[in-house]
Structure 1
């Protein structure tokens, strides 16, 4: 199934030329307080693909994600949505186009899975636009996409970590945006639950052609699920492209200070990073 194109008739959307990158940055700098974290970044995110942002702690991955979703204001430069500065759009309009699931999402005690997923429809509500059959359909679709129908009436705090994360992602799916961003969606999950979540996220591009942007820590996992990878170091892009084209021992050394051997996954054909030891420090 292909993505539904943005049209001028859809509230809060902008029209994109087919095949043009929907989201890009131009000389974007971002920071916290007086510290600049992301520096003069020029970046294009390919449409209808999974982009994974990787890099060492403190390199600016989460800050970049916040800038792309306009939760962090640019210090200079711009984030462009179909060529238009993101700052020119209203918060509600952006929420209809870009969905963001932050790293530490919290919900009130006793909230059920269905209640949480319903929150995803808030950007579509207004004084003249109340709850509709389309909203109910979007919630049911999101529950089905996350395989959560049997858990829909359970309180979130009774679920496993993987189930809770699927519920949060289902809320983002119900928001029905063309672009979905997730900051470390598998943090604190065991291998099985992490795989469950990533398979669900990967399926979103196949199911509707969404553009998905993930921040992940594990490089081998990122290689498996990324169509496009952005490797960051010190607030800048060290490399970007398909994982099999950019993930090399030299890149791993530059990013993490680790010597490695790069193998090929015999099932998926993607790079597998095997750490050997710490790289000698350059004096």
Structure 2
């Protein structure tokens, strides 16, 4: 069995299938870990969801911010003015509604392998979390809120994205503020202020910004950053920059911007990529 890790797919079905063929992925024996953002931007989000659902026992995924938005739209009873035809196609597709309601919304924000010392989330692991139990508990809390019928915290979060909680406050947050921080940390984080609180707006690579009050989350000191291999997506501007420590691996290599879809073999310690056609 080989364990593979793949970056943000963003609806690029043909490239996904080509890359899996390139590595000879065997869904009966191998495992595929996915950093989230399965959908949006690319041409074939429906096919991606169909396919991943068909091999769901062979994959381990985390939800990304784009996945959460789709779940929100399907769970919400309000009518939204959606102009993106690709999203509208997803919302009109009865099989997609079934997949979201019966599978996707139950997926976690963190995946963990205790024996291999692996952690994966869409955006990374925030500096303010240095305890594995807190990370897994936070993921479970968010997953329960997103997947249950009365998920008002989740719906309110998407409806109030301008309201951002960026400080964990040593595990003292409760209620909506706690949920808000967990989602921000695990699905949207890139930079943090020097005290470790989240900065939610800057996207460029470290060499492309001139702000001494910010650091990428993985440049902070955190005992977990040394104990675990951490996989994440979400930050395509990092590609090829050599910014992360050796055991912190960013896999969003800009597929949706005409660059690469990338997979990493755990056993071979090797990257494989394929160019995406925009």
| Structure with the bigger percentage of helix | 2
Q: TM-score, normalised by structure 2?
A: 0.33
| Structure with the bigger percentage of strand | 1
Q: TM-score, normalised by structure 1?
A: 0.33
Which is higher, the Rg of structure 1 or of structure 2?
A: 1
